[in-house]
Amino acid sequence: MAELTDNAACNRYEMSSGNATAFIEYTKTSDTITLEHTEVPAEMSGQGIGSALVKSVLEDARRRGLKVVPNCTFVQKYLQRHPEYQDNVI
């Protein structure tokens, strides 16, 4: 599985495999991270990359002490299936 990278210059978390990169765009404040948009290229689709990306971002936010604001529908759907992250969502 690809490793999570925080590309702060582009305000997005990324996971790359080969020449393709899946990402979640975000906005951060001192105590929150708003997840705005998730994109998984077609060549990465169906491999669980999107879910792995969301899980890694949620765990990174928790480690950093950031509350998550899930504006992205993909992230919202992931959170519905994984209630263990609800304590970190506002």
Question: What is residue 81's DSSP assignment?
Answer: H
* Per-residue confidence (pLDDT) for residue 18, from 0 to 100: 85
* Per-residue confidence (pLDDT) for residue 21, from 0 to 100: 96
Per-residue model confidence as pLDDT tens for the chain (90 residues): 579 999 999 999 999 988 999 999 999 999 999 999 999 999 999 999 999 999 999 999 999 999 999 999 999 999 999 999 999 999
CATH number at residue 21: 3.40.630.30
Dihedral angle sign, alpha carbons of residues 1, 25, 68, 77: negative
Work out the number of other CB atoms within 10 angstroms of the CB of residue 26.
24
Task: Estimate to the nearest angstrom the gap between the alpha carbon of 82 and the chain centroid.
Answer: 14
- Which pTM value belongs to this model? 0.94
In the chain, the number of structural domains is: 1
Domain that includes residue 15, residue range:
5-88
